[in-house]
Amino acid sequence: MCINNKDKGYFNSFRNAFHKKPNDKIKKAEIYKAIAAYIRTLNPQNSRFDQYINGKSKTLTENEIGLPNIHR
């Protein structure tokens, strides 16, 4: 994984979040923690596709169901 420690915007955000000193490097574990924290803020959607996947077979049309199953 290539991490650009010279990008001041990213580094300042990480420095604030992880209490880093100006010369400290960003670690992979910190990136994973940041991504996990972001994912926890997402709200699951209740799209027709989500409903279909969850067993409500009438939410998609026959034409939509016939499309390639790229989401499985």
pLDDT in tens, 4-56: 556 778 778 878 888 888 888 888 898 899 899 988 888 777 888 888 888 88
Q: Is the pLDDT of residue 70 over 60?
A: no
Instruction: List C-alpha distances in Å: 44 to 13, 50, 56, 59.
Output: 26, 9, 17, 17
Q: Which residues contact 53 (CB under 8 A, 6 or more apart)?
A: 71
Q: What pLDDT shows up at residue 68?
A: 59
Q: What pLDDT shows up at residue 36?
A: 92
Look up the pTM and report it.
0.49
